[in-house]
Structure 1
Amino acid sequence: MKKWFWILAIATVAFAIYYDISRGTLPVADSSPETAGETVEITETHFDHTVDVEIEAGQTLLSIVEQLHDEGMPMDMGQIKNDFQYLNDGQSPEQLHEGQMYTFPLYEG
Structure 2
Amino acid sequence: MKKFLLFCLSLVIVYTIAYDLKIGTLQSYSSKPAPVSAVSIKNSTPYKKVKVSSGDTVLSIIEKVNPASLSKPIPEIIKDFQRYNHYIRPESIQVGKMYNFPVYKELKH
Q: Give the TM-score normalised by structure 2.
A: 0.55
Structure 2 partner of 1:74: 71
Q: 1:13-92 counterparts in 2 under 5 A?
A: 48-92=45-89
Structure 2 partner of 1:105: 102
CA RMSD of superposed structures (Å): 2.9
> What is the Cα deviation at residue 68 of structure 1?
1.0
- One-letter amino acid matched to 1:54: K
Counterpart contact for 1:51–1:104, Cα < 8 Å? yes
Q: How many residues align?
A: 72
Q: Give the TM-score normalised by structure 1.
A: 0.55
Counterpart contact for 1:47–1:83, Cα < 8 Å? no
Structure 2 partner of 1:27: none
> Post-superposition, which runs of at least 4 consecutive aligned residues in structure 1 deviate over 3 A?
none
> What is the Cα deviation at residue 47 of structure 1?
5.1
Q: Secondary structure at the match of 1:108?
A: coil
**Structure 2 residue runs without a partner (length 5+):** 1-28, 35-40
**Structure 1 residue runs without a partner (length 5+):** 1-33, 40-44
Counterpart contact for 1:88–1:102, Cα < 8 Å? yes
